[in-house]
């Protein structure tokens, strides 16, 4: 059985590597940012330099990568633009004196380091990138009409065979939450497939605050072994 498990892990790792270019993004922030969530619209407004605070009043400063898969995916997924188009947009704002060019770094590792040391910084990295020293913000689906507070969270089981090999990952789930707060349905919408089953199993046991109607909420669950 152990041999079968190892063969499965190796197979999934190969599949993950083949799909690395199309992997997902996780949003990270400096620990000074009090919010644990951010809406898609707020994320877009922050990175288009249209606002400097989140809904809870936390001041934020966007940090970008100059190029690469993470940059292209983030810009398309959350800003509905292409990377080159975004650069022209920033240059236009700078030229008219409305703002200065945002911080741009060359790699995910540099983004994580900068965000961890810079008050209010918010950035994005590939879902498989280590994120020690920063907090991960849950991106709220625009389908959610009501803010749902997580009252009970069951932590997912970290498969021991993956943990001892320091295999990390991230799973993006779309939760359907009943008016009473129970999770009625869990859909895996992205991330590392190795962790999908255990992440979904835990999320089904979560309990949220009540709301007038059923809502859908997108959440990210990160798997990172401790020190």
The helix (H) or strand (E) run that includes residue 136 is: strand 135-140
Domains 20-139 and 141-227 equal at CATH topology level: no
20-34, 48-62, 119-133: which range is least confident on average? Answer: 20-34
| Percent of the chain topping pLDDT 70 | 86
pTM summary value: 0.58
Asked if pLDDT for residue 123 goes beyond 90, the answer is yes
Asked if pLDDT for residue 145 goes beyond 70, the answer is no
Asked if pLDDT for residue 154 goes beyond 60, the answer is yes
Residue 226 has a pLDDT of 61
User: Across the chain, how many H-helices and E-strands are there?
Assistant: 7, 11
Q: Are 29 and 137 in contact (CB under 8 A)?
A: yes
Contacts of 76 (CB under 8 A, 6+ apart): 82
Better pLDDT: 140 or 63: 63
Tell whether domain 141-227 is in CATH 1.10.287.4070. no
Q: What is the pLDDT of residues 29-42, one digit of tens each?
A: 999 988 878 888 89
Confidence of residue 60 (pLDDT cuts 50, 70, 90): very high
* Domain spans in the chain, listed from the N-terminal domain onward: 20-139, 141-227
- Domain at 20-139, CATH class: alpha beta
Confidence of residue 8 (pLDDT cuts 50, 70, 90): very low
Three-class secondary structure of residue 123 per DSSP: strand
């Amino acid at each position: 059985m152990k041999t079968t498990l190892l063969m499965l892990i190796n197979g999934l790792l190969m599949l993950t590597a083949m799909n690395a270019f199309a992997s997902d993004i996780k949003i990270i922030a400096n620990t000074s940012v009090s919010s644990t969530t951010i809406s898609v619209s707020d994320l877009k407004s922050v990175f288009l330099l249209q606002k400097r605070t989140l809904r809870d009043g936390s001041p934020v400063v966007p940090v970008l990568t100059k190029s690469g898969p993470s940059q292209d995916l983030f810009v398309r997924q959350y800003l509905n633009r292409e990377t080159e188009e975004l650069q022209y947009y920033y240059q236009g704002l700078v030229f008219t004196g409305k703002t200065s060019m945002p911080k741009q770094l060359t790699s995910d590792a540099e983004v994580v380091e900068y965000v961890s040391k810079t008050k209010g910084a918010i950035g994005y990295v590939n879902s498989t990138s280590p994120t020690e020293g920063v907090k991960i913000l849950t991106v709220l689906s625009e389908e959610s009409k009501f803010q749902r507070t997580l009252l009970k969270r069951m932590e997912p089981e970290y498969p021991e065979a993956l943990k001892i090999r320091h295999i990390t990952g991230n799973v993006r789930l779309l939760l359907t939450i009943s008016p009473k707060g129970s999770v009625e349905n869990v859909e895996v919408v992205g991330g590392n497939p190795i962790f999908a089953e255990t992440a979904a199993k835990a999320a089904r046991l979560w309990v949220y605050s009540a709301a007038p109607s059923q809502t859908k909420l997108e959440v990210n669950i990160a798997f990172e072994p401790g020190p």
